[in-house]
Amino acid sequence: MSELPSVLVFAVVGILALGAIWGFVEWARNNKQPQISYEVRVVAIDGRSGGQWSNHNGRYAVNINPSFRIKYMHIQSGEVKEIVVPSSKFVGRERVGNSGILTMQGTRYISFWECDEEDNDE
């Protein structure tokens, strides 16, 4: 019975270490990739995932990494993909039906610039 708390601590520390390693590996892989821009159309936006208060048996918690899931379609290929956009970078330009230039670096969202009719006339 006395080994149970030490096993739980070891398991929790191991899970946190694996998460940190995975995050570092993804960060390093993204940094090696070039920034690439795509002409896309936004086809769906799933509301915030995280960043909301939740009540669990009288205890309140908040996710400190709120984000949005955005599905977009490449204009040229028709391929549909989904990306996660941190709320700190979600500025409201990404609306369903909007076309624009999406810039990515590996799996990392960089920016979305909306192209409207007025931009094409110049």
Same domain assignment for residues 71 and 87: yes
Count of domains observed in the chain: 2
Q: Mean pLDDT in each 10-residue stretch from start to end of the chain (122 residues)?
A: 78 92 91 92 73 51 63 86 79 79 88 68 44
Same domain assignment for residues 28 and 39: no
Same domain assignment for residues 27 and 60: no
- With beta carbons less than 8 A apart as the criterion, state whether 40 and 74 touch: yes
Given this model, what pLDDT does residue 95 score? Answer: 79
Given this model, what pLDDT does residue 53 score? Answer: 47
Same domain assignment for residues 78 and 51: yes
Same domain assignment for residues 14 and 52: no
Given this model, what pLDDT does residue 2 score? Answer: 64
- Residue 111 belongs to domain with CATH number: 2.40.50.660
Same domain assignment for residues 25 and 41: no
> Please, which residues have CB within 8 angstroms of residue 84's CB and are 6 or more apart in sequence?
49, 67, 68, 69, 70, 109
Rounded distance between C-alpha atoms, residue 60 and residue 4, angstroms: 28
Q: In terms of DSSP bridges, do strands 67-74 and 59-62 run parallel, antiparallel, or are they unpaired? A: unpaired
For the chain, percent helix, then strand, then coil, each to nearest 5?
30, 45, 30
Same domain assignment for residues 45 and 105: yes
Structural domain boundaries enclosing 67: 34-121
Given this model, what pLDDT does residue 115 score? Answer: 80
